[in-house]
């Protein structure tokens, strides 16, 4: 006699190109007890398992009790995971160039076995994270479209994809800045930088991929500019997409919004056990969500022209038009 199959783990996969506000949104969602945000699991194999970088809680990966429990439940301990094997598998499955193949309706047996095995690694981690925390939804902010495409082949996974978009010129400005990585314990390391043209290519490829995915999986598209204009409404909308009821607690770390005005002081945020991501995840105080518009003054004219032209078709689709951007009626921060 076998026990009935448990409900498939539900994951909210945050997709899009980095610097689109995903860490901020993840931090907000993580304030609810029914949400478990784990950072960018795609980088777990190299940065956490390999380099033992710091978790969002401040501990090194191997010293974090949450991740130790997740490893025990998912794999019988992290020592049982052959990192080199996983990285080789990742290279065969989870690359942007493999997306056309992953978008098909059927795969040859060998490729199917690879993608199923790869997706199963993540499914095990999600299931364990939910079991350890008692949450109902796990948030993976890995962002790469190729991983979202791989996960659609998972057996027994409730996949919901949040496609986060932001004006390409703001994203290009952000990727041109030097940002130190606080999770690196030994020595100093910086996040990579990309030229305006490289960002334009990545921005178009990633966003186009999520449009392709939308006909094959549950995808909700959200603009960074709409999120920052209405963080409370966005959290509500995203929770609803994830099948969760409204939870005012999700907003308690916000300062300066109407919704939190009644609270005397915003609470200190619950720091998620996020395995990789933007330095913001180490922030310890109340958050002010406002649209970062620095690019309008600081992105050089030439760069702006390159990005504006190279990303034109999707910019039009998202309403990122003109010199002032999309929402002329919204005041600049």
Binding site for Zn ion (CB under 5 A): 55, 57, 64, 66, 273
Closest approach of Zn ion to the CB of residue 64, in Å: 3
Element (H, E) at 266: none
Spell out the alpha helix ranges (H) of 47-163. Answer: 65-75, 83-93, 99-102, 109-133, 145-151
Select 60 or 116, whichever has its Cβ closest to Zn ion.
60
Closest approach of Zn ion to the CB of residue 274, in Å: 8
Select 17 or 55, whichever has its Cβ closest to Zn ion.
55
Select 28 or 64, whichever has its Cβ closest to Zn ion.
64
Closest approach of Zn ion to the CB of residue 253, in Å: 18
Distance CA(194)–CA(177), nearest Å, equals 9
Closest approach of Zn ion to the CB of residue 275, in Å: 8
Residues in the chain: 333
Q: Are 15 and 144 in contact (CB under 8 A)?
A: yes
Closest approach of Zn ion to the CB of residue 54, in Å: 8
Residue 262's SS3 state is coil
12, two tokens: 């909210």
Rg (CA), the chain: 20
Closest approach of Zn ion to the CB of residue 66, in Å: 5
Q: Are 259 and 251 in contact (CB under 8 A)?
A: yes
Closest approach of Zn ion to the CB of residue 10, in Å: 21
- What are the CA-CA distances from residue 101 to residues 158, 182, 196, 209 (Å)? 21, 36, 28, 12
Q: Which residue has the tokens 């439940």?
A: 73
Distance CA(168)–CA(321), nearest Å, equals 11
Select 129 or 154, whichever has its Cβ closest to Zn ion.
129
Select 49 or 289, whichever has its Cβ closest to Zn ion.
49
Which of these, 34, 30, 52, lies nearest to 43 by C-alpha position? 52
Select 92 or 271, whichever has its Cβ closest to Zn ion.
271
Distance CA(277)–CA(237), nearest Å, equals 23
Select 102 or 129, whichever has its Cβ closest to Zn ion.
129
Tell me phi and psi for residue 45, to 5 degrees: -60, -40
Closest approach of Zn ion to the CB of residue 34, in Å: 19
Distance CA(12)–CA(101), nearest Å, equals 23
Element (H, E) at 315: helix 312-318
Select 57 or 159, whichever has its Cβ closest to Zn ion.
57
Closest approach of Zn ion to the CB of residue 271, in Å: 8
Query: Dihedral sign, CA of 19, 65, 239, 123?
Result: positive
Select 44 or 307, whichever has its Cβ closest to Zn ion.
44
Distance CA(296)–CA(107), nearest Å, equals 45
């Amino acid at each position: 006699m076998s026990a009935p199959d448990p409900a498939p783990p539900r994951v909210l996969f945050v997709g899009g190109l980095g610097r689109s506000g995903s860490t901020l949104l993840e931090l907000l969602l993580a304030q609810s007890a029914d949400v478990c945000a784990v950072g960018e699991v795609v980088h777990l194999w190299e940065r956490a398992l390999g380099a033992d970088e710091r978790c969002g809680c401040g501990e090194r990966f191997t010293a974090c009790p949450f991740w130790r429990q997740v490893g025990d439940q998912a794999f019988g301990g992290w020592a049982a995971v052959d990192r080199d094997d996983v990285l080789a598998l990742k290279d065969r499955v989870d690359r942007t160039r493999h997306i056309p193949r992953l978008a098909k309706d059927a795969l040859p047996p060998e490729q199917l076995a690879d993608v199923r095995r790869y997706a199963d690694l993540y499914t095990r981690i999600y299931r364990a994270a939910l079991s350890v925390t008692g949450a109902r939804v796990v948030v993976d902010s890995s962002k790469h479209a190729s991983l979202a495409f791989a996960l659609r082949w998972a057996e027994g996974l409730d996949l919901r994809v949040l496609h986060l978009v932001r004006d390409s010129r703001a994203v290009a400005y952000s990727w041109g800045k030097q940002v130190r990585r606080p999770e690196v314990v030994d020595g100093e390391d910086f996040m990579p930088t990309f030229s305006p043209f490289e960002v334009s290519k990545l921005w178009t490829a990633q966003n186009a991929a999520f449009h392709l995915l939308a006909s094959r999986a549950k995808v909700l598209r959200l603009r960074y500019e709409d999120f920052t204009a209405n963080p409370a409404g966005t959290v509500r909308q995203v929770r609803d997409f994830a099948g969760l009821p409204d939870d005012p607690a999700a907003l308690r770390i916000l300062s300066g919004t109407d919704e939190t005005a009644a609270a005397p002081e915003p609470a200190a945020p619950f720091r998620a056990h996020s395995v990789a991501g933007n330095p913001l995840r180490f922030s310890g105080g109340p958050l002010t969500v406002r649209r970062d518009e620095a690019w309008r003054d600081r992105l050089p004219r030439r760069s702006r022209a390159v990005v504006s032209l190279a990303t034109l078709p999707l910019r039009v689709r998202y309403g990122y038009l003109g010199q002032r951007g999309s929402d002329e009626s919204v005041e600049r921060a």
